[in-house]
Amino acid sequence: MMERRMDTALLVLLMGHLAAALEVPLDLLEELPQPPTITQQSPKDYIIDPRENIVIHCDAKGKPHPSFSWTRNGTHFDIDEDVNVVMRPHSGTLVVDISREKADHYEGVYQCTARNKHGTAVSHNIVIRQSIAFSILRALLKGSPLWSKERIKQIVVQEGVSLVLPCRPPAGLPPPIIFWMDNNFQRLPQSSRVSQSLNGDLYFSNVLREDSRNDYICYARFPHTQTIQQKQPITVKVLNQDPVDERKPTFLIPSGSSSSHTVLRGQVLEMECIAEGLPTPEISWIKLSGDLPTQRMSYLYYQKNLRIVNVSASDAGDYRCSAKNMLGSVHHTIHVSVKASPYWIGGAPRNLVLAPGENGVLTCRASGTPKPSITWAMNGIPIANSPKDLSRKVEEDTIIFTDIQMGSSAVYQCNVSNDHGYLMANAFVNVLSEPPRVLTPANKVYQVIKNHRARIDCAFFGSPIPKITWFKDSRSSTLDGDPYIQHDNGTLEIHTAQARNSGKYTCAARNMLGIYENHVYLEVKEPTRILKQPEYKVVQRGRSVVFECKVKHDPTLVPTMTWLKDDGELPDDERLIVDSDSLTITDVTESDGGVYTCIMNTTLDHDSASAELTVVEATPTPAVVYERPDPPTDLELTDQKKRSVQLTWTPGDEHNSPIQKFLIQYDDSLHHRGHWHNLTEVPGTRTTAHLKLSPYVHYTFRVLALNAMGFSRPSFPSRMFKTEAAAPDENPKDVEGFGTEHDNLVISWKPLTGLQSNGPGLRYRVMWRQKAVESDWTTVTVSNNSRFVVSGTPTFVPYELKVQAVNDHGVGPEPAIARGYSGEDLPVAAPENVQVVVLNSTLAEVHWDPVPHKLIRGHLKGYKVYYWKERSLHKHNPYHMEKLILMFSGNHSHGMVPGLHPFSVYSFNVRVYNGKGEGPVSPTQQFDTPEGVPGAPTSLIVTNSNLDTLTLEWSPPHDRKGRITGYTLKYQPVNNSNELGPVEELALLANETSVTLPNLKYSTRYKFYLNAKTVRGAGPAISQEAVTIVDEALMSLLDVDVGEGTAGSTQSSHPLAQPPPHRLPDEALPVSPFGNVSSSVGEDGPLISWEYWGPEKNVYVEYMVENSEGEQEWQKEPVNGSQNVVLKGLKGGLSYRVRLVAKGHHDQPLHHSEELLVTVPAVASRQVDIATQGWFIGLMCAIALLILILLIICFIQRNKGGKYPVKEKEDAHTDPEFQPMKEDDCTFGEYSDNEDHKPLKGSRTPSNGTVKRDDSDDSLVDYGEGGDGQFNEDGSFIGQYSGKSGSRDTAEGHESSEAPSPINTMNSLNSFV
């Protein structure tokens, strides 16, 4: 038997190297088969809250993904048969809904099984039970008392005797926390005379008169339910009638002279001794069989309680407590036995990856008191009942595999148990045949600063386990000696990198199936160093100062120079000029004084230096020369102690400026050689200093002197003084706890510096425990690290944390407790009872019930509302599907959703999110937005302008926001002074897009307003202006007034209705964000209007003259965010090409609209109704006055003349131009006053070149009184007039073909007169 065990041990030793393969990250190679591995399971003893659903965790990984099943109380648990139990998808976790069934129905022992075709893994037994505290809580809610009903009588005692006040709380799981308080909820004071025992009773070693009170109340707090219950108050009355004699101590608890106590390894041992006596006895403790563990023990309740944490086997033995006063002493011996539930030796069994034909070992090393028994199972079946495997041999705590073959993959379970508990672990044996591969990225470049440590990775995998070999450059030899260190995980380390270590490195992974090589590169960079540091400066106010900071750095690294003032950013002041290697301050003021620091940073390292600037008042040139002092000399160390030393020195020459102070600096050659640190300052009148020092430092001192001109050069260093090592004086700061995964807790801290370590072997004792559970502290010790990862923690639970510094000479002080949380996981529930209230056409309010905190599984960040437009309820609006997100931080239960589009269908859902991410989505719901007020019509143009009618054409609004129910058109005339006339309103149908307005005034400017309507009301209006056409007869009259050279200038300056703009030929243009581009000619210039829906903000109008010669550039006119612009300053009579341009970022193309051709009228002056012009009225009045004078003269001449027989003479000499003319046959007729209102008509030139006088010419016949047009004067007078008239008209007919004007008519009358 002994030989067999020795053979097994030898085989295990020879195969120990195989365990290293288990460190390979198999999970990175997802294509490989892998048996199941349990990754998460609920604790063995699972106390549930009956008010919430029960969640029993069981998760596993494997390839293929495993399936799950459960047993309950040893039999199969059919989940499908129980409607209250569901299993989460892709997981074995059970969720029990207790809304229809009491929680105690599901109490029992559960076990989870995860299996795939490569094996079966099982969880440990999970005992589900509800806390007794909840039964107590239910009793409280029903009004039942916690404590048994009893009538508590007043306690009357004599002063000096002992007294015990019982509490006797009900049992709880976990046990309640007991404390005593009064009616004011103030804790009762305790002392060496009065204290509370472990069972909660209150003990008085002797009572005093001041102990009399009627409110001794015992409280019990149940941690799991966070409830507190109190006992009935106890009244104590202390009498002073018969004084009690003093007496020696006796023990109240424990009784007798000895007792025994059993405690489990790793738990807390608590022993108590409470004695009575007068005077009050003092309690002391000793260990009869050894020394007390001072590092793990503490005294509570005035040394009546001895507490030892993290009990080990060495704590077993006899302990004696003693009670002593002046009259004597008493002793009690407690025999402590330490038992142990099973615990792993060297860790739980680890997974094994073997290649076919390889050998391997699974070990299950555990211990305990009493010695535990070990049993094996394969795929959940006892190994004795499992299929035989010739390659497998079981030897107690070891399974040996020899010449293993494919198909032997399985999961083995190791169960270790004794009377105090059990351990159960899964470990798979995965038989794979895989060639080697390197997981580190190829051609990765590692950069390191010279003289620093360099590590080059070579993460690998293969089966059999590959052998790793490193080569450099030419591959002349392997890298396996100084200065190279090769680690088991393939990493190559160079402790102190030098420039010669730069180059190409090759990592070769080799096994029987092949070889895999990976190349990486190492670059060793020169360190960054400040060659010339800034110097201390004293500068007069108003002068300039320059701080130099010259730096040397590796030329391949990009440096960044930063200057600080008093450890903050430089002031934003143009007087401070930063160059590449200097800082210049001009016109110095008092505020510029301070410490300036230059910092040179690269991607790998940095260096810094500081200097102080002192600003002094400007003074006349001094007669005496002031300089900095000379450095002190003759440094000497005296009065040397463990943590202090006396330093003396001799001051140097002051140079006419008294020394103000001395600065003492030190260099620590043990931890930070070559760096001087400020230690202390002393006044300039002293030449000695008592220096307080830290342990474990190799000190060298120097002194600098300071006067008004600055610091001296440093003195020569003193001799070295070494302080002895000691235990740490302080613990790490900034202790934090957080999770990076859902099942871990990362404990981090700020490590101590070498100066703070106080000795060699600095390490950290990391302690943690769950805050909500009364559990013991778990402790590990780490070194050379500033963080520790606790795996297998429950998801997002609070923890209490402590980190204590330890070195080879002892431990630091008791650390403060920090708090943190284990890792978060995604929320497991969606918000429920999600509802929406539509407030108006663009705003809705979403409500939901907050997700319970336990289901959030992390720090609640808030809620997200996802919403998107499904469709518009109007057929003309486009379809949208862009999802939008609204985030509501914190514990919100509702939120506003703004910016909705009216008359649309929206979908939405709600999710809760924490620091890990979003939880499940709530069911998607829909809601409709009501109709809104429509936008303005897209365009409004004027066509078919006539004398008294105009036609308006428009396009419906681009954004309808509902069903258009109609349009409202308003218009009003505008006079010459831009005053608006009365408004006319016209209601139009929804399907109309044009209207003709009749009965308008000719030559009148109108302003039009058009808006669309829905059931919610009218939207904004689009406006336009236009002018009716000028009457041609009136234009003829104006032509007569203007005279020669103005015959063609008949256009009105008012904006005329334009036909649709001329479009240039189509070109291959990108999709334009412009639409409905139109133009109209206004009084100030052409008005360009458009619609724009692009993202660019820089929009402008470009224009240029059509058919312009040469390379004429486009002229630009900004639009300032509007959608219309008036182009001013254009030349009349020319046509212009006009387009719109949208400009984005510099790397984005321009967007152009299609070009318009806009013609500017030749007459730019304003022209309105001529009948209303003052100059025209004055001219007409003058003409009428002249005609009246002429008529008066004619009548006077007629009355003077006699009657002559000239009838025959007139008939013989009739002038045809003086015949009455009729309009229908161009003959002369009678003059009629009813024709005065008709406009004058222009003359025309006949084809024979002669000029005829039309009916607009005046003659004396028109002013006659006879109906036949004959005068009653004598014939001689008529004949003479007729002859003159004929000759004059013939001459004028050859001079001009223009129509006669009123001025010409007046001239002819004047010549007649």
The identity of residue 993, as a single letter, is: T
Work out the pLDDT band at 1231, boundaries 50, 70, 90: very low
Stretch among 100-109, 223-232, 265-274, 1055-1064 having the lowest mean pLDDT: 1055-1064
Beta bridge partners of 670: none
Per-residue pLDDT tens for 117-138? 999 999 999 999 887 655 555 5
According to the model, what pLDDT value does residue 702 have?
96
According to the model, what pLDDT value does residue 473 have?
85
Q: Which two tokens stand for residue 1065?
A: 């030929």
**28/1077: higher pLDDT:** 1077
Percent of the chain having pLDDT more than 90? 45
Torsion angle of the four alpha carbons 464, 470, 476, 480, in this order, in degrees rounded to the nearest 10: -100
**2/611: higher pLDDT:** 611
Residue range 96-125: average pLDDT? Answer: 91
Stretch among 301-305, 692-696, 805-809, 978-982 having the lowest mean pLDDT: 978-982
CA angle 73, 74, 76 (to 5 degrees): 100
Kindly write down the DSSP assignment for every residue of 1200-1243, as one continuous string: HS-----HHHHHHT--GGGS-EETTTTEE----GGGTTSPP---
Per-residue pLDDT tens for 1098-1148? 888 998 888 776 667 888 888 877 778 888 888 877 888 898 888 865 556
For residues 5 and 367, give the distance between their C-alpha atoms in angstroms, rounded to a whole number: 17
According to the model, what pLDDT value does residue 1197 have?
81
Stretch among 442-446, 804-808, 920-924, 1062-1066 having the lowest mean pLDDT: 1062-1066
Stretch among 9-13, 483-487, 963-967 having the lowest mean pLDDT: 9-13
The answer on pLDDT for 1261 being more than 90 is: no
**1027/89: higher pLDDT:** 89
Residue range 960-976: average pLDDT? Answer: 88
What is the separation of C-alpha 139 from the centre of its chain, rounded to a whole number of angstroms?
Answer: 48
Stretch among 255-269, 623-637, 1043-1057 having the lowest mean pLDDT: 1043-1057
Work out the pLDDT band at 1035, boundaries 50, 70, 90: very low
The answer on pLDDT for 689 being more than 80 is: yes
According to the model, what pLDDT value does residue 1176 have?
83
Report helix angle 1275-1295 to 1302-1312, nearest 10. 140
According to the model, what pLDDT value does residue 520 have?
94
According to the model, what pLDDT value does residue 626 have?
85
The answer on pLDDT for 102 being more than 90 is: no
Residues 301 and 321: beta-carbon distance below 8 Å: no
The answer on pLDDT for 153 being more than 50 is: yes
Residues 249 and 329: beta-carbon distance below 8 Å: yes
Work out the pLDDT band at 1274, boundaries 50, 70, 90: very low
For residues 363 and 369, give the distance between their C-alpha atoms in angstroms, rounded to a whole number: 20
Q: Which two tokens stand for residue 525?
A: 């960079």
**Phi, psi angle pair for 339, to nearest 5°:** -100, 170
Kindly write down the DSSP assignment for every residue of 826-845, as one continuous string: ------EEEEEEEEETTEEE
According to the model, what pLDDT value does residue 1143 have?
80
Q: Would you give the DSSP letter of residue 296? A: T
Work out the pLDDT band at 1047, boundaries 50, 70, 90: very low
Work out the pLDDT band at 150, boundaries 50, 70, 90: low
| β 1098-1105/894-897 pair status | unpaired
According to the model, what pLDDT value does residue 206 have?
92
End-to-end CA gap in the chain: 166
Which stretches of 965-1076 are DSSP H helices?
A: 1032-1042
Residue range 21-49: average pLDDT? Answer: 76
Name which of 1237, 1074, 1210 is nearest 1152 in CA terms. 1074
According to the model, what pLDDT value does residue 1313 have?
32
For residues 981 and 736, give the distance between their C-alpha atoms in angstroms, rounded to a whole number: 79
Residues 761 and 807: beta-carbon distance below 8 Å: yes
Residue 1078: exposed, middle, or buried by beta-carbon count in 10 A (0-12, 13-18, 19+)? buried
Name which of 417, 447, 411 is nearest 430 in CA terms. 411
Torsion angle of the four alpha carbons 1040, 1044, 1046, 1050, in this order, in degrees rounded to the nearest 10: 30
Name which of 1059, 1075, 1064 is nearest 941 in CA terms. 1059
pLDDT averaged over the chain?
81
For residues 1120 and 1128, give the distance between their C-alpha atoms in angstroms, rounded to a whole number: 16
According to the model, what pLDDT value does residue 1223 have?
40
Stretch among 12-16, 166-170, 407-411 having the lowest mean pLDDT: 12-16
The answer on pLDDT for 956 being more than 50 is: yes
Residue range 845-862: average pLDDT? Answer: 92
For residues 824 and 745, give the distance between their C-alpha atoms in angstroms, rounded to a whole number: 10
Residue 1181: exposed, middle, or buried by beta-carbon count in 10 A (0-12, 13-18, 19+)? exposed
According to the model, what pLDDT value does residue 1279 have?
37
User: Model's pTM, two decimal places?
Assistant: 0.44
The answer on pLDDT for 1293 being more than 70 is: no
Residues 432 and 356: beta-carbon distance below 8 Å: no
3-class DSSP assignment, residue 715: coil
Work out the pLDDT band at 139, boundaries 50, 70, 90: low
Residue 1003: CB atoms within 10 Å: 19
Stretch among 245-259, 475-489, 1217-1231 having the lowest mean pLDDT: 1217-1231
The answer on pLDDT for 839 being more than 80 is: yes
| β 1062-1063/1086-1092 pair status | unpaired
The answer on pLDDT for 704 being more than 50 is: yes
According to the model, what pLDDT value does residue 19 have?
39
Residues 95 and 55: beta-carbon distance below 8 Å: yes
Q: Which two tokens stand for residue 427?
A: 């470990």
Cis peptide preceding 349, ω within 30 of 0: no
Stretch among 256-270, 314-328, 1161-1175, 1176-1190 having the lowest mean pLDDT: 1161-1175
3-class DSSP assignment, residue 1004: coil
For residues 950 and 928, give the distance between their C-alpha atoms in angstroms, rounded to a whole number: 42
Work out the pLDDT band at 1172, boundaries 50, 70, 90: low
Residue range 749-767: average pLDDT? Answer: 91
Q: Which two tokens stand for residue 168?
A: 């006797």
CA angle 744, 747, 749 (to 5 degrees): 160
According to the model, what pLDDT value does residue 1089 have?
85
3-class DSSP assignment, residue 872: strand
Per-residue pLDDT tens for 765-791? 999 999 878 788 999 999 989 999 999
Q: Which two tokens stand for residue 239?
A: 């009498």
The answer on pLDDT for 1259 being more than 90 is: no
Q: Would you give the DSSP letter of residue 948? A: S
According to the model, what pLDDT value does residue 399 have?
92
